Amino acid sequence: MSSKLPASPLEPRAQDGAPKKKKILVPKVENGHETMVEIEVDDVAGPEWGPREKLRLLNHEFVRVDAVDKVTGRARYTHDVRLAGMLYAKFVACPLPHAEVRVDLSAAKQVPGVVEARVVRDGEIRFVGQPVAVVAAKTREAAEDGARAIKLDLKPLPFAVTREQSLAANAPEVNRRGNASKPDERGDAAEVTAAFARCAAAIEATYSVPVQHHACLETHGAVVDVPSNDAATVYHSTQATFASAGEFKGPLKVSDVEVINEHMGGGFGSKFEAGVEGRVASELARDLKVPIHLMLSRKDEFLAAGNRSGCTATVKLGGTQDGKLVALSASVDRFGGLGGGSHAGLPYIYSVETSHRSMRSVYTHLDGNRAMRAPGHPQASFAMESALDELAYALGVDLVEIRKRNVGDVHAKQLERAAREIGWAEHPHKSKPDLSDAVVKVGIGFGLSQWGGGGHPECRVTVDIAPDGGVRATVGSQDLGTGVRTYVAAIVAEELGLPLGGVTARIGRTSYGPANASGGSVTTASLAPAVKHAAFNAKRSLLEALAKTLASAPDELVLDTQGVYDARSKRRLSWKDACATLPPAGISAVGEWQANLASNGVHGAQAAKVRVDTRTGEIQVVKMVCVQDCGLPLNRTGVRSQIFGGMIQALSYALFEERVIEPDLGLALNANFEDYKLAASREIPEMVAILDDDDTRGVIGMAEATIVPGHSAIANAIHNACGVRLRSMPLTCDKLLLGLAALKKG
């Protein structure tokens, strides 16, 4: 090959023979916060996904391998674990946001069935719902009664649970370094002021987003079993199985911890840590020498297991007559309780010539926020997409055109596709809302998303082929719900010419081999290449072994869905017969991450159509469209299901979800599934998920991108329908009715 040609991945060695290296950007999640870091990897030849039209399983639609287990109740979640002699533990939480607490355990210890009662934390309590005591008992009912019997001596302290309370002149101290952090500033304010002078129009408004909950159907918690002095087994509902093993070692004081997490009922970013529940369960199990089942109650889950931070963002945005964005200035307050909150930078996805932004955290006596599906992005999306929409109307520019004018080609193309699918061309209100006297009105809105989703080398996958033809793919990774178990099997089946059912995937256990934590949509791009590599190696070993038995050569052997064909002897062996020639131990091959099989950076465009009844303020989302890229879709059903899930979660966020803390009493008023409303079946619109097949890159995670813009598109559609701009989520009928009344008054 000519040395003038650029090096291809198939030509891995540099001139001097040392393995060629390349630098790639990978996302890294630490304490729930994602950053991109550069790492160096070998740029070696390896497996390829191959041309898409040749793929038989991958890039096709198939049902999850564990679907039936999940819907029939056979799948075992941490909640379901029952061990001999196990005790149920239950927390007692502080009902107040800020108090001096003393705990009296004596009555609890008298409750029949109660084995242990302990103080978890006393003294100063700093958030509503902070666990202060725990009870372990023989039955769940006894644990409830024991928890009830614990007496809390509460001395209420002054608290701040709202922004206003936290920033008030005489506010109680929430954070030692001040109730608001020092603003983080980017850009040049003076330049932006000058830029506004060049704008044909500018708008300024304040947008606010409430605190949202992850609302995992399976609450946080663990079942901890310490059968000996040096080893323990922890069943843990976690999205970081391997980090969890390390965390549990501390309180368990053992050197060997196996974490098991076969199925989990949602994490959405809230389950990276063992948490106080993991620590307390470990201490109880260690001291009492019996297995401990400690899963949070629904109320504990709402109050002490993290949340998506809220925010208020004041945005001023200006542009030219034809909609080119020229100037943006923004100031953002994040509300992450005792945590810092998260908010992606503005102008977010759009390019604006000049911008300045200032961002700070305002602290309150509520539990700290945690990562939640695309941390900080939905908040930034709401402010930016709303402001952009407002500017479009001020300028009289088409809502799709103004977006296309300020983004890159991929987004522009996806937006066009979304617009076509939602019926934008036929829609009569493209740059003015419907201000007619009609009682029922229809509007359309848009929003864009982006995400990283690249992978990194952390997984080790083993593929075993047994002489009876059985194939097992093994890796410790958890399945956050995205379909990991299914694509692990599918990738191996594709490589070995087998049907999906021909491979058993074993996951969710630390002893199965290392894997990454599932955060930042990195799992697929980290794991899939390693699975492919292991399958590739297993195939190579199989063919090498067969070549010996058949007195042929590995490159004379072809493995496909018909089994093995030996070009030398012109003989064909079925898969079963080929495997039968293997030694009793069969074949075991290991795979690791391959940079060439993954990529990074996804784009999406969404559109929403709503129907507004101006008499009642009823808002009905009738249709949502998402156009999403993700490199190679491993399982198109899986990708579409992530898109649907993202759109539904965003719809629910748009219309209903909001943590309500009573500002005077400090009590949580909706820490349950009745008052904290989630969208249910009748709220679900027609949903169209379109995979952007122009994207020919390797595998990329996309799950987070899908939740970013849906609520923004819905808010924009409401304005488009009736002229009321709802700047504060959730977008409920009370706000709309007052908005409509104000509009009438003029």
Partner 1 sequence: MKAFEFASPVTLDQALAELPNDVAKRDSVKLFAGGQDLLTEMKEHLVEPTKLVNLKRVPGLDRIELAPDGTLVIGCLATLGALAEHAETKNFFTCVAEAARSVGSAQIRSQGTVGGNLNQRPRCWYYRNEHAPCLKKGGTECFAYSGLNKYNAILGGGPSYIVHPSDLATALVALDAQVTLRSAKGERTMALEKFYSLPSEGDVTRETVLEPAEILTHVRVPAKSGWQSTYLKFKERGSYDFALAAVAVAVKSDGAPRTIRDARLVLGGVAPKPWNVPKAAAALVGVALGSAEGAASSKRAGELAVVGAEPLAHNAYKVPLVQGLIVKAIEALAAR
- Name the residue nearer to partner 1 (CB basis): 193 or 732: 732
CB nearer to partner 1: pick between 103 and 595: 103
Give CA separation, 362 vs 184, 333, 367, in Å. 13, 6, 13
Nearer to partner 1, 135 or 392 (CB): 135
Strand ranges in 414-460 using DSSP code E only, listed in sequence order: 440-451
Q: Which of 665, 687, 728, 743 binds partner 1 (CB under 8 A)?
A: 665
Contacts of 119 (CB under 8 A, 6+ apart): 103, 105, 132, 133
Tokens standing for residue 686: 């027609």
Q: How far is the CB of 705 from partner 1 (least distance, A)?
A: 26
Contact characters 432-451, partner 1, x per CB under 8 A: --------------------
Answer yes or no whether residue 616 interacts with partner 1 by CB under 8 A. yes
E strands in 343-494: 354-361, 440-451, 461-465, 471-474
Closest CA to 506 of 262, 265, 264, 266: 262
Rank residues 300 and 566 by Cβ distance to partner 1 and give the closer one.
Answer: 300
The residue type at 478? Q
Structure tokens belonging to residue 683: 């709220």
Q: Which residue number, 168 or 680, has a Cβ lying nearer to partner 1? A: 680
- Nearest CA to 367 out of 181, 147, 214 is that of 214
Tell me which stretch binds partner 1 (CB under 8 A): 237-245, 285-293, 549-557, 667-675: 667-675
Taking a C-beta distance cutoff of 8 angstroms, is the pair 242, 272 a contact? no
Helix (H, G, I), strand (E, B) or coil at 671: coil
Closer Cβ to partner 1, 174 or 668, answer by number: 668
Q: How far apart are CA 481 and CA 475, in angstroms?
A: 16
What DSSP string runs through 575-620? HHHHHHTS-TT-EEEEE---GGGB---EEEEEEEEEEEETTTTEEE
For partner 1, the binding residue among 145, 283, 390, 566 (CB under 8 A) is 145
Half-sphere exposure of 626 (CA within 13 A, CB side): 36
- In the beta sheet, which residues pair with residue 217? none
C-alpha 583/C-alpha 590 separation (Å) is 18
Q: Which of 19, 680, 696, 742 binds partner 1 (CB under 8 A)?
A: 680
Closer residue to partner 1 (CB): 66 or 145? 145
Q: Is position 613 an interface residue for partner 1 (rule: CB under 8 A)?
A: yes
Can residue 168 be called a binding residue for partner 1 (CB under 8 A)?
Answer: no
Q: Applying CB under 8 A, which part among 39-47, 510-518, 526-534, 732-740 lies near partner 1?
A: 732-740
Min separation Cβ 300 and partner 1, Å: 15
Beta-strand (E) ranges in 126-268?
A: 131-137, 151-156, 184-187, 201-209, 221-225, 231-236, 256-260
Q: Which of 103, 679, 715, 726 binds partner 1 (CB under 8 A)?
A: 679
205: contact with partner 1 by CB under 8 A: no
For residue 707, give the 3-state DSSP assignment. helix
Q: Cis bond leading into 210, ω under 30°?
A: no
Q: Name the minimum Å distance from CB 139 to partner 1.
A: 12
Check binding of 466 to partner 1 (CB under 8 A).
no
DSSP state of 8: P
Site string for partner 1, 711-730 (x = CB under 8 A): --------------------
Which CB, 553 or 684, lies closer to partner 1?
684
- Edge-to-edge, what's the strand order for the sheet holding 618-628? 440-451, 602-613, 618-628, 686-691
Smallest distance, Å, CB 716 to partner 1?
Answer: 21
Residues touching partner 1, count (CB under 8 A): 39
Residue 405 is given by DSSP the state T
Choosing from 67, 667, 687, 743, the residue that interacts with partner 1 (CB under 8 A) is 667
DSSP line for 725-745? ---BSS--HHHHHHHHHHHHH
Please identify which residue in 61, 164, 191, 618 interacts with partner 1, judged by CB under 8 A: 618
Figure out which of the listed residues 68, 580, 669, 742 binds partner 1, where binding follows CB under 8 A. 669
457 backbone φψ class: left, alpha, beta (φ>0; ψ -120 to 50): beta
Q: Residues 188, 322, 560, 662: which binds partner 1 (CB under 8 A)?
A: 662
Taking the complex as a whole, the smallest distance from the CB of residue 672 to partner 1 amounts, in Å, to 9
Contact mark string toward partner 1, 74..113, x via CB under 8 A: ---------------------x------------------
Binders of partner 1 among 471-530, rule CB under 8 A? Answer: none
Residue 414 C-beta-side C-alpha neighbours within 13 Å: 29
Sheet of strand 571-573, all strands in order from the earlier edge strand to the far edge = 557-560, 563-566, 571-573
302 in contact with partner 1 (CB under 8 A): no
Min dist. Cβ of residue 32 to partner 1 (A): 29
577 sits near partner 1 (criterion: CB under 8 A): no
Q: Which stretch binds partner 1 (CB under 8 A): 35-43, 320-328, 610-618, 691-699?
A: 610-618
Which of the ranges 1-9, 22-30, 269-277, 653-661 carries the binding residues for partner 1, by CB under 8 A? 653-661
The smaller minimum CB distance to partner 1, of residues 254 and 684, is found at 684
**242: part of which helix (H) or strand (E)?**
helix 241-252
How far is it, in rounded angstroms, from Cα 267 to Cα 617? 34
Residue 140 beta carbon to partner 1: minimum distance, rounded to whole angstroms: 11
Contacts of 129 (CB under 8 A, 6+ apart): 93, 94, 95, 299, 300, 302, 303, 304, 367, 668, 671
Q: Which two tokens stand for residue 459?
A: 């997984």
529: alpha, beta or left? (left if phi > 0; alpha if psi -120 to 50): alpha
Query: Shortest Cβ distance from residue 741 to partner 1 (Å)?
Result: 6
- Which residue stretch of 31-39, 63-71, 393-401, 654-662 sits at the interface with partner 1 (rule: CB under 8 A)? 654-662
Residues 621-650 that bind partner 1 (CB under 8 A): none
Closest separation between CB of residue 107 and partner 1, Å?
A: 14
Stretch of residues binding partner 1 (CB under 8 A), selected from 116-124, 513-521, 539-547, 673-681: 673-681
442/493 with CB nearer partner 1:
442
CA 277/CA 134 separation, integer angstroms: 10
Shortest distance, position 152 Cβ to partner 1, whole Å? 11
Return the bridge partners of 103, or none: 152
Q: Is residue 740 part of the contact set for partner 1 (CB under 8 A)?
A: yes
Length of the chain: 746
The residue (of 147 and 224) whose beta carbon lies closer to partner 1 is: 147
How far apart, in whole angstroms, are the C-alpha atoms of residue 514 and residue 477? Answer: 7
292: three-class secondary structure by DSSP: strand
For residue 31, state whether it binds partner 1 (rule: CB under 8 A): no
Closer to partner 1 by CB, 560 or 618: give it.
618
Considering only residues 287, 548, 615, 622, which one is a binding residue for partner 1 as defined by CB under 8 A? 615
Q: Which of 700, 652, 705 is nearest to 680 (CA)?
A: 652
| Residues of this chain that bind partner 1 (CB under 8 A) | 95, 141, 144-145, 148, 613-618, 620, 655-656, 660, 662-665, 667-670, 674-675, 677, 679-683, 732-735, 737-738, 740-741
